Chain A
Amino acid sequence: NAGVTQTPKFRILKIGQSMTLQCTQDMNHNYMYWYRQDPGMGLKLIYYSVGAGITDKGEVPNGYNVSRSTTEDFPLRLELAAPSQTSVYFCASRLDSPLHFGNGTRLTVT
């Protein structure tokens, strides 16, 4: 199993640009999550999904959108990038326990 795969690893965006952070898992996990981690800080939940077709907001959803059309994929969309969205983004998945994380996407918005 590849586990949780995130692409791209790094990205620089200009203010106002849009992009999609990709996340895919090959473990047939129902639950998937997007977290962001600002420098020196803890992880904050952006969105999560309990299965295909079902998504819900987390702690910091503003400026982001998600979709879950398949069990495997959970992309995170940034529509109008802002400097406050500069962060490292982690995708995670689980069946019951524990949580499996990807290696993150480091995003800089300038």
Chain B
Amino acid sequence: DAKTTQPPSMDCAEGRAANLPCNHSTISGNEYVYWYRQIHSQGPQYIIHGLKNNETNEMASLIITEDRKSSTLILPHATLRDTAVYYCIVRVYGGGRRALTFGSGTRLQVQP
């Protein structure tokens, strides 16, 4: 799996958009970008994934640059419940038998 780099922490005001960056300059052509988050004491939660096109679902949007070397997860209207650690992971779809490897992630603090 390609290595990813994320800022260790970010703050965001409630109601504003939270933009979480991720660098993955060594990504391969068949690797997807996945985002998970972990709210305090809970199991990680899948958010979204994409290959090269921008993706949107009910939780978030994922913007992948044209060269695919970086991406941004956007929470359009952050709430206090979005305070969590966000993990960006790059891997082949499914990944075979190998497990996901979670790095340190970005700790997002949504401020009231």
**Chain A interface residues toward B at CB < 8 A:** 4, 31, 33, 35, 42-43, 45, 48, 50, 56, 58, 88, 90, 92, 94, 96-104, 106
Bound: A14/B68 CA distance, A: 50
Cβ-defined contact, A58 with B42, below 8 A: no
Cβ-defined contact, A56 with B103, below 8 A: no
Q: Which of B41, B42, B99, B103 sits near A42, CB closer than 8 Å? A: B103
B28 to chain A, nearest CB (A): 16
Bound: A33/B97 CA distance, A: 10
Q: Which of A31, A35, A42, A101 sits near B97, CB closer than 8 Å? A: A31
**Chain B interface residues toward A at CB < 8 A:** 32, 34, 36, 41-46, 49, 93-95, 97, 99-105
Most interface-central of A88, A101, A103, A106 (chain B CB within 10 A): A101
Q: Which of A4, A42, A96, A104 sits near B93, CB closer than 8 Å? A: A96
B102 to chain A, nearest CB (A): 5
Bound: A85/B62 CA distance, A: 37
Chain B: CB-nearest residue to A104: B43
Cβ-defined contact, A97 with B93, below 8 A: yes
Leading 4 A-B pairs by shortest Cβ distance: A101-B43, A98-B46, A96-B94, A43-B102
Cβ-defined contact, A103 with B42, below 8 A: yes
A36 to chain B, nearest CB (A): 12
Within 8 Å CB of B34, what residues of A? Answer: 97-98
Cβ-defined contact, B99 with A33, below 8 A: yes
Within 8 Å CB of B32, what residues of A? Answer: 97
Cβ-defined contact, B49 with A97, below 8 A: yes
Cβ-defined contact, B93 with A90, below 8 A: no
Bound: A94/B103 CA distance, A: 19
Within 8 Å CB of B43, what residues of A? Answer: 4, 90, 92, 101-104
Chain A: CB-nearest residue to B96: A50
Cβ-defined contact, A43 with B44, below 8 A: yes
Within 8 Å CB of A106, what residues of B? Answer: 41
Cβ-defined contact, B99 with A104, below 8 A: no
Cβ-defined contact, B44 with A42, below 8 A: no
